[in-house]
Amino acid sequence: MAEFSLELPEDVVEVRDWVHGFADEVIRPVAHEWDEKEETPWPVLEEAAKIGLYSAESFATWFLEPSGLMMPVVSEELFWGDAGIGLALMGTGLGVAAIAGNGTPEQVATWIPECFGTPGDIKLSAFCVTEPNAGSDVSNLRTKAVKDGDDWVLNGQKVFATNGGIADVHVIVASVDPELGSRGQASFVIPPGTPGLTAGKKEKKHGIRASHTGEVLLDDCRVPAECLLGGDEKLEARMARAREGKKTGTQAAMSTFEATRPIVAAQAVGIARAAFEFALDYAKEREAFGKPIIMNQSIAFTLADMKMELDCARLLVWRASWMGRARASPR
């Protein structure tokens, strides 16, 4: 495992500069347009797919890079370009993380490529956990999955899902044994075109509007056994340990959140960095009382504090990302 360092590995720097160029030249010129449209920016996803930026191979490389810093660095650059388009590009990563973290090798090989598609045939995935009465309280999910012969039948409602309803591959977290709470839950892949899964309302948002956020409705949605991530045997063994009061390992939804939390933090750093740069440029150009307002100490000190907090946040994200990859404990 790589030692933690404040100097980025050379390959991370190369990818960072490549993604920054894409954010600067492709994302920023059209960011306002897609934010006003409140639509998924398919042409931008297509451009990203053409150069290999939006692909299963790139995401795998970024996730598996030894230092753990590649994915947060990429995320920061994309969200520096625009938060909405950044999430349109990165939102598929949640579904991918759920499949990679909970699925069998065969499921990973089958479904992750289907989350991206190919240039000219772009695909999306959605990770659906949140419900009307269970947001961050994942132990209280009401969506149920019931075994029926060799199939699973899902019923319930998911809300605030990135790409929800328009995705090609949906990953649904559902309760298999409600008495066990979060330990009785499992994740299911819903293939495209499966009867019983429909799109509900699309949310109107104050920001990040180029990314689709929607409701997903499940009404007797039937999927074959191989769509249960991890398989029947693993689920049964985990629930048996739970019924005996033993530890069961990481819960289905939380394992995905834990793997992606540093990436979300990096996205926030990218947004903050863009805001700081806009504020800095404005302070240099805006004049009051015959001089740029940056010449006023109160403005200069505020900008200095912003830069300090931004750098601190980035370093904390890097440290958390490295610790997650190294499975290190804080000291």
Q: What is the pLDDT along the chain (331 residues), one digit of tens a residue?
A: 567 777 899 999 999 999 999 999 999 999 999 999 999 999 999 999 999 999 999 999 999 899 899 999 999 999 999 999 999 999 999 999 999 989 999 999 999 999 999 999 999 999 999 999 876 677 789 999 999 999 999 999 999 999 999 999 999 999 999 888 888 899 999 999 999 999 999 999 999 999 999 999 999 999 999 999 999 999 988 888 888 887 766 665 666 677 788 999 999 999 999 999 999 999 999 999 999 999 999 999 999 999 999 999 999 999 999 888 877 656 6
Q: How many CB atoms lie within 10 A of CB 143?
A: 22
pLDDT of residue 139: 78
User: What is the spatial distance between Cα 30 and Cα 287, in angstroms, rounded to a whole number?
Assistant: 29
Q: How far is the C-alpha of 315 from the C-alpha of 310, rounded, in Å?
A: 9
Contacts of 285 by beta carbon, 8 Å cutoff, 6+ apart = 292
User: Count H helices, E strands: the chain?
Assistant: 11, 11
pLDDT value for 180: 87
Q: How far apart are CA 208 and CA 48, in angstroms?
A: 19
State the helix-helix crossing angle for 56-64 and 92-102, rounded to 10 degrees. Answer: 60
Domain spans in the chain, listed from the N-terminal domain onward = 125-251
pTM of the model as a whole: 0.91
Class of domain 125-251: mainly beta
pLDDT at 327: 74
Q: What confidence score (pLDDT) does residue 326 get?
A: 79
pLDDT at 140: 84
Which segments of 14-118 are extended strands (E)?
117-118
Please report the beta strands in the chain, taking only residues with DSSP state E, as ranges in sequence order: 117-118, 121-122, 125-128, 144-148, 151-162, 169-175, 185-190, 197-202, 213-224, 287-288, 291-292
